Amino acid sequence: MGFETKSENKCFGGRQLVLSHDSAETKTAMELAVYLPPQADDGPVPVLWYLSGLTCTWENVTAKAGVQRWCAEHGLAFVAPDTSPRGEGVPDDPDGAYDFGLAAGFYVDATEEPFAANYRMYSYLTEELPGLLAAELPLDMDRQGITGHSMGGHGALTIGMRHPDRFRSLSAFAPIVAPSEVPWGHKALGGYLGEDRTAWAEHDATALVASRGWHGDILIDQGDADNFLAEQLRPELFEAACKAVGVPLTLRLQPGYDHSYYFISTFIGDHVAWHAERLRR
Amino acid sequence: MGFETKSENKCFGGRQLVLSHDSAETKTAMELAVYLPPQADDGPVPVLWYLSGLTCTWENVTAKAGVQRWCAEHGLAFVAPDTSPRGEGVPDDPDGAYDFGLAAGFYVDATEEPFAANYRMYSYLTEELPGLLAAELPLDMDRQGITGHSMGGHGALTIGMRHPDRFRSLSAFAPIVAPSEVPWGHKALGGYLGEDRTAWAEHDATALVASRGWHGDILIDQGDADNFLAEQLRPELFEAACKAVGVPLTLRLQPGYDHSYYFISTFIGDHVAWHAERLRR
């Protein structure tokens, strides 16, 4: 079954689409946004995935980042999925907290109840959605890059490093780099995967770069006025792990910038250009 | 009394501010957003006003247009006021419609009851707010331009043409150019100013350009897939009036674009550059 088009808006000469489909993985309807640059009218274009942070849907980055201007310039499609399953019957955090459950899927396949049935964001993003996108849209799936913000930076780094054959380029904005070491990660990985921490390592970027490395370089932007920097993000842990295994990391601490989309919009042009350079044939 | 700063975010090297103050004109608290580009650290910068459309606050253009990138490049401050008074006791459309009352002040001073006490957006924007901005922020009030979208395009054109001494440059996105001739305008000008249409002419851009002209050129972008084009916007009426009095109008019909911020974000860089050129010393 294919996509239903919920909306289409012309933007920078291309098409901003919002799509919906029934997911076999999450057993819910899932929405996502895809920007097709003008170059897609002439044939398949490379793909940049963007995974969003806690509380977000596809809409935040699509409306607030100004990313279409850069994707049109460089000829990249931009895919922005949702951050969790949603809808009637999908279990949420028992207290309705923002950092677990709805809009906080953490890009894993849950094994704990009652989340295991629906919270399958890892398989959704690595298996089901790429197949649908390849079948339905003019995308060159041999040229994919991935980025994301905060929880989505965690998703980008972990999914990217576990699929080096699929992703040529990898970057992140203010990512959670070591969920095994920070409160957001303890809650999410414990809640979805259980307290046996051996299962966590495959969803921890700092552990993954140590165990698997990465075939290319990595770009991370991080605001130094970000309220979450010291307790939840801790990029120095990832930096040390990259250094230990010789993975070239460019970690830019941006003075005065916070965790908001004003920060992302300022630097997303650099990230699109960086991915575009690595996705050229 | 000055501004209270509700939030501040670094963006493209400058400062995105959200400010609040008690307005003597509207007798309410009013919020607005101001972007100060990095150049404002070194002294007063020119000012581009942006008046928003129906249903909007300062937030739509501030979050969705990607305008900070262009204002940082050209060294312009960007002022985005609200679209009406708000709060307890402010009368709204009796049916709660989107096109009158809250978020639909139409940039006039109402003379009809029960709106006359609060709905004084014209005096607020032309007298009270400029005084506050000049006193509190590093703005060069001798170099001001004005633009806006839809209802805010109507506001920009009418306020601009009635204050040619104050505004050097004038543009609009999908503006209501002839409120006396279209349903939105009939409802708003009738509701705020009464049914004597002689009062309407000073708030009708097509009537104003005929009666007063304009000292410069005017830029208007309009999507040709805009659902409101034929019934509510009718730029051909303004185009004919400009032609009759010899005011140079560049009216760009943009193929495939609609009324959304995806349209505005695509072309706002052109408008910022256009104003910046006319606001140079």
The answer to whether A70 and A273 have CB atoms below 8 angstroms apart is yes
CA distances from B204 to B35, B55, B107, B150 (A): 29, 20, 11, 13
Residues of chain B neighbouring A259 (CB-CB closer than 8 A): none
Pair of tokens at residue A169: 């380029």
Question: Is the pLDDT confidence value at B1 over 70?
Answer: no
Q: Would you call B64 and A63 a contact, using CB atoms and an 8 Å cutoff?
A: yes
Distance CA(B187)–CA(B157), nearest Å, equals 19
Distance CA(A229)–CA(A223), nearest Å, equals 8
Residues contacting residue A129 through CB under 8 Å, at least 6 positions apart: A30, A32, A81
Active site residue B226: yes
Q: Would you call B10 and A63 a contact, using CB atoms and an 8 Å cutoff?
A: no
Mean pLDDT of B256-281: 97
pLDDT for residue B33: 98
Q: Could you tell me if B225 lies within 8 Å of chain A, comparing CB atoms?
A: yes
pLDDT for residue B90: 97
Q: How far apart are the first and last CA of chain A?
A: 31
Mean pLDDT of A145-161: 98
Residues B102-137 have pLDDT tens digits of 999 999 999 999 999 999 999 999 999 999 999 999
Question: Is the pLDDT confidence value at B34 over 70?
Answer: yes
In the DSSP assignment, the letter for residue B178 is -
Distance CA(A137)–CA(A129), nearest Å, equals 12
Which residues of A form the catalytic set?
150, 226, 259
Residues of chain A neighbouring B68 (CB-CB closer than 8 A): 262, 265-266
**Please, which pLDDT band fits residue A208 given cuts at 50, 70 and 90?**
very high
| Strand B249-254 with B218-223, pairing | parallel
The mean pLDDT of chain B is 97
Question: Is the pLDDT confidence value at B60 over 90?
Answer: yes
**Please, which pLDDT band fits residue B182 given cuts at 50, 70 and 90?**
very high
Q: Could you tell me if B265 lies within 8 Å of chain A, comparing CB atoms?
A: yes
Distance CA(B73)–CA(B65), nearest Å, equals 15
Mean pLDDT of A123-138: 98
Using CB atoms, pick whichever of A11, A63, A262 lies closest to residue B9: A262
Mean pLDDT of A117-143: 98
Interface confidence, given as ipTM, is 0.94
Percent of chain B with pLDDT over 70: 99
Residues of chain B neighbouring A66 (CB-CB closer than 8 A): 66, 69, 265
pLDDT for residue B13: 98
- 3-state SS, residue A31: strand
The residues pairing with B51 across neighbouring beta strands, listed in sequence order, are B148
Distance from CA of A197 to the nearest CA of B (A): 37
Residues B63-79 have pLDDT tens digits of 999 999 999 999 999 99
Q: Would you call A9 and B64 a contact, using CB atoms and an 8 Å cutoff?
A: no
A 59-88 near B (Cβ less than 8 A): 63-64, 66, 68-69
Pair of tokens at residue A8: 């289409």
From A172, A123, A197, select the one nearest A275 (Cα to Cα): A172
pLDDT for residue A1: 58
